[in-house]
Structure 1
Amino acid sequence: MILAEGTARRPGWTTVAWWSRPIGTLYLASLVLSVGKGAWFTCWAIFFVRSLGLTTAQFGIGITTAGLIGMIAGGPLGYVADRLGAREMLVALGLVQGIAVLSFLFVRDFWPIVIVTCVMLAAERAIPGIRTAVITGMVSRAERLASVSTTRVMTQAGIVAGAGFGAIVLAVDSRIGYLSMILFYGISNIVFVVLLRRVPHVESLRDRKVKRRVLVLRDRPFLVLTAFNGMLALCFGMLSSGTPLWIASHTQAPTWVMGVLVGFNSVMIVLFQNRVTRRGETVHGAGRLGLWSGILLAVACLAFAATYNGSGTTVLVVLLIAATIHVAGELLFMGSGLGLSVGLTPDGAHGEYQGVFNTGQAAALMLAPGVMAGLLVELGATGWFVLGAVFLVAGVGTVLTGNWALRRQASRAAAVEE
């Protein structure tokens, strides 16, 4: 927990001074945006089907198309942000996303809905990486990882708060309720943009009169790390889509337990993400976090598999144990990804590097529902063993590739000195 200067106990976020700093303004903007996002995440699937009237097939086609666009947009947009200004690009993306979200108030036909969704997801997927580029340009190198981690905590806290509003919308289950959710999310984007106007400009390549080609596509260790991080990012889908499908298909546990598990996960992330991320301040440390993340996520898979055909109090206890191990793995996964992506990025290239790194997670988010359905519904307990093996491979690959990246950096530094 970050403490205010001059106090040993009071958390910094409880003071006005902590929020009034430039980085505090960015935290606040991220919090506001994530409140709207939490409401959207809770309702979006039902909104598309019940309010916009898409069939299940149309919904699947549309969201997959939009997911592909969102997955590939991060790298190019990040490169443009490095050249023209990360803060300005973040403002533009917030505005574009807000307009796209509010467009759902007016669109009706299938293809206009798909186009709007593609625009919205392209902006949504690019925002985290470019926000990290803004942070790295605002704070010292020693503060970067802690600041990025705090932004993650703010985002998670906002999503939890917004999910409450989304739950009310689902309970009402009316078109007016869904439209109010759209308005709420659109306004949160506009407020996000307004707050960003108070964040200082971050020096760009154009300011420095530097012209260069794309760097990240020639950084093979970083690209491999992106792939392994994307494999570990399946832990998001493991909870959001895999566990509900598993509980409904292969256990006799009540469906309400899923809400308990999601709430528990969110609270643990808010409380412990910053503490865990500190262990990844070096690339070597971040690689080890990735290894332990893979191990813990694999163990969590075994614990979930143990609930097969379970019922009564026993299955509830085992599900909670599995969820506890899972959130520990997720915390380590996020700490590893933040430490590696920030630590291995050259100065002046944070936009493109973060944009490309986020494609791994974007791919996981896009593929997770289908992967989880295929493994856990169709294969049953065997699917958990397959998923656990994926996490183990990703964890081992992360630490080995992190060491490869360090050796590559050392050889380049030696070549420069010679």
Structure 2
Amino acid sequence: MMNLPPGMSPVVLLRSTFSGVSTGLYLTGSAVFFTEYIGLSPRLVGLGISIAWLISTATMMPFGMLADRFGGRRIWLIGTSASALVFCLYPLAHAYWQFQLIIALELLVSGLGSAGSGRYFGDLFPEGHRARGRAYLRVTSNIGMAVGAAIAGVAISLDSRPGYLAIVLIAAGVTALDAILIAWAVPHVDRPHQRVEGEARRKPVAIRDRSFVALAVLNGVFNLNGPMLSVLLPLWILSRTDAPSWLVAGTMLMNMALCIVFQIPASRGVESPGNGARAWMWAGVALVVSSVGFAASGTTHGVATLVALAVGLAALTAGELLTSAGTWAIRYGLAPESRRGEYTAVFGLGGQLSWIAGPAALSFLVMSGGAAGWLVLAGVFVAAAVAARPLVVWAERTDREDGEFAAAVPAARSARRRFGRARGRAGGE
């Protein structure tokens, strides 16, 4: 029997696997479904996804506040159940506006579920065990994603409308099973905590916490590893190296396998904001190495190209694993319990923005600049690694426990206004 972290149970791991299957199906097969089944152009699909992501990003913080108000598990269940229903709407889309409406709705309810799960898992895992708990969830999720990607691959290979339809219907069914487990099997762990009452409850606080927002932005920089793997690296391999085209799929599978094997060891001991900062620093180093390795692969031939790509991929995966471990330690270690949903949602904005801006920005930088573009990206990661520790120290010095920061913000603003009026009167004299 696995030595599971406190709060973890087999049913929680099972639903994480189901969630991964749905994600693998969607990521692998959705673009093909949109173009082949609905009949949209790739340009319109890309536009629709970008608009939907922007809408979803704008609602993250309000959804986090809802999770604080009504409980993470309840909001998570509502979002997941709605996701299963929205998947069933995709086959009804026959025009762009219908597709845009459905995908925006899908990302909205998915974001609602994510806000709820973020609050829930922060309550489920006790302090000192959250990064390890997250590691187990990522392992099972990656296993599920591999299964989902394989199912989608079989469906796509049929090259038929029933095959494309099967992708979204299976995703809907698996997501419905996930919702059933959330409703009936996962533990009830919304722990009692000091609630923020009255007017303060309705006012967002995390977005005004400058040190925390700075860390959210830095989180977005480290999370560029995602667009690097799934967007930038395939383009680079196909257009700027002499590596075989099948290596694009090979890199995805290898990344998935490495995540399954090494996520738990990579998260060991990363349970405090200070340890999270250290993990981010090493993540930055790994992402620098990966950028240099990929840059080299564009100037080599044959076996040397494969070696350079292998080194770059291994380092990129290490950066991904360490980023994940550090992110959970920092965001949960700094978020006050009464506003955990709101704070974790704001922290997640950085990751969202990395997917909104990252694909286009990274593609322009590297595909236009070649190896030099990779080296510029390496410089960005050097700066991120250097900034990690000072920003975490700054955030640790900010008193935000149980809504005290909420009271401090307006009080400080009022004091500044009084001081300004006093200076104005003194100057007039």
Task: Give TM-score, length-normalised by structure 1.
Answer: 0.89
* Aligned-pair Cα RMSD in Å: 2.4
Are residues 1:105 and 2:91 paired? yes
Q: Secondary structure at the match of 2:297?
A: coil
- Structure 2 residue aligned with 1:195: 181
Q: Return 341-350 or 223-232, whichever deviates more.
A: 341-350
CA distance in 2: counterparts of 1:263 and 1:206, whole angstroms: 42
- Structure 1 residue aligned with 2:156: 170
Deviation at 1:103, TM superposition (A): 0.4
Q: Name the CA shift for 1:24/1:323 in 2 (closer, same or farther; >3 Å).
A: same
CA distance in 2: counterparts of 1:58 and 1:285, whole angstroms: 43
Deviation at 1:61, TM superposition (A): 1.6
Deviation at 1:336, TM superposition (A): 1.0
- Structure 1 residue aligned with 2:13: 27
| 8 Å contact from structure 1 (residues 280, 286) kept in 2 | yes
| 8 Å contact from structure 1 (residues 78, 352) kept in 2 | yes
Counterpart of 2:138, as a letter, is R
Q: Name the CA shift for 1:112/1:317 in 2 (closer, same or farther; >3 Å).
A: same
Are residues 1:344 and 2:334 paired? yes
- Structure 1 residue aligned with 2:265: 275
Counterpart of 2:23, as a letter, is K
CA distance in 1: counterparts of 2:206 and 2:141, whole angstroms: 27
Counterpart of 1:203, as a letter, is D
Counterpart of 1:304, as a letter, is F
The number of equivalent residue pairs is 400
Deviation at 1:369, TM superposition (A): 2.1
| 8 Å contact from structure 1 (residues 102, 183) kept in 2 | yes
Deviation at 1:321, TM superposition (A): 1.2
CA distance in 1: counterparts of 2:332 and 2:194, whole angstroms: 22
- Structure 2 residue aligned with 1:329: 319
Are residues 1:80 and 2:70 paired? no
1:113-136: CA deviations, max 9, x gaps? 101101111233443343131122
CA distance in 2: counterparts of 1:357 and 1:332, whole angstroms: 17
Q: Which runs of 5+ in 1 are unaligned?
A: 5-10
- Structure 2 residue aligned with 1:8: none
Q: Name the CA shift for 1:410/1:43 in 2 (closer, same or farther; >3 Å).
A: closer
Over the matched positions of the two proteins, sequence identity in percent amounts to 28
* Equivalent position to 2:211, from 196, 207, 221: 221
- Structure 2 residue aligned with 1:146: 132
Map 1:16-415 → 2, pairs under 5 A: 23-197=9-183, 198-203=185-190, 210-211=197-198, 212=201, 213-409=203-399
CA distance in 2: counterparts of 1:108 and 1:325, whole angstroms: 43
Deviation at 1:199, TM superposition (A): 2.6
Q: Name the CA shift for 1:161/1:370 in 2 (closer, same or farther; >3 Å).
A: same
Q: Secondary structure at the match of 1:141?
A: coil
| 8 Å contact from structure 1 (residues 294, 391) kept in 2 | yes
Q: Name the CA shift for 1:336/1:130 in 2 (closer, same or farther; >3 Å).
A: same
1:8-37: CA deviations, max 9, x gaps? xxx247xxxx99x87432322121121011
Counterpart of 1:192, as a letter, is D
Counterpart of 2:209, as a letter, is D
Deviation at 1:208, TM superposition (A): 5.7
Counterpart of 2:96, as a letter, is F
Q: Name the CA shift for 1:143/1:206 in 2 (closer, same or farther; >3 Å).
A: closer
Q: Name the CA shift for 1:250/1:273 in 2 (closer, same or farther; >3 Å).
A: same
1:180-209: CA deviations, max 9, x gaps? 010010111111110001234443789968
Counterpart of 1:342, as a letter, is Y
| 8 Å contact from structure 2 (residues 79, 113) kept in 1 | yes
Counterpart of 2:136, as a letter, is T
Q: Secondary structure at the match of 2:398?
A: helix
CA distance in 2: counterparts of 1:288 and 1:207, whole angstroms: 31
Q: Name the CA shift for 1:269/1:285 in 2 (closer, same or farther; >3 Å).
A: same
| 8 Å contact from structure 2 (residues 72, 115) kept in 1 | no
Deviation at 1:158, TM superposition (A): 1.1
Deviation at 1:397, TM superposition (A): 2.1
Deviation at 1:266, TM superposition (A): 1.0
| 8 Å contact from structure 1 (residues 279, 289) kept in 2 | no
Deviation at 1:342, TM superposition (A): 1.1
| 8 Å contact from structure 2 (residues 276, 325) kept in 1 | yes
Q: Name the CA shift for 1:283/1:203 in 2 (closer, same or farther; >3 Å).
A: same
CA distance in 2: counterparts of 1:273 and 1:186, whole angstroms: 28
Q: Name the CA shift for 1:23/1:217 in 2 (closer, same or farther; >3 Å).
A: farther
| 8 Å contact from structure 1 (residues 286, 337) kept in 2 | yes
Greater CA radius of gyration, 1 or 2? 2
Counterpart of 2:362, as a letter, is M
- Structure 2 residue aligned with 1:7: none
Q: Name the CA shift for 1:77/1:250 in 2 (closer, same or farther; >3 Å).
A: same
Deviation at 1:218, TM superposition (A): 2.7
1:82-126: CA deviations, max 9, x gaps? 101111100100011111111002111111110110111123344
Deviation at 1:210, TM superposition (A): 4.1
CA distance in 2: counterparts of 1:33 and 1:241, whole angstroms: 22
Task: Give TM-score, length-normalised by structure 2.
Answer: 0.87
Q: Which runs of 5+ in 2 are unaligned?
A: 409-429
1:310-346: CA deviations, max 9, x gaps? 3322211211111111111111111111110111111
Counterpart of 1:174, as a letter, is S
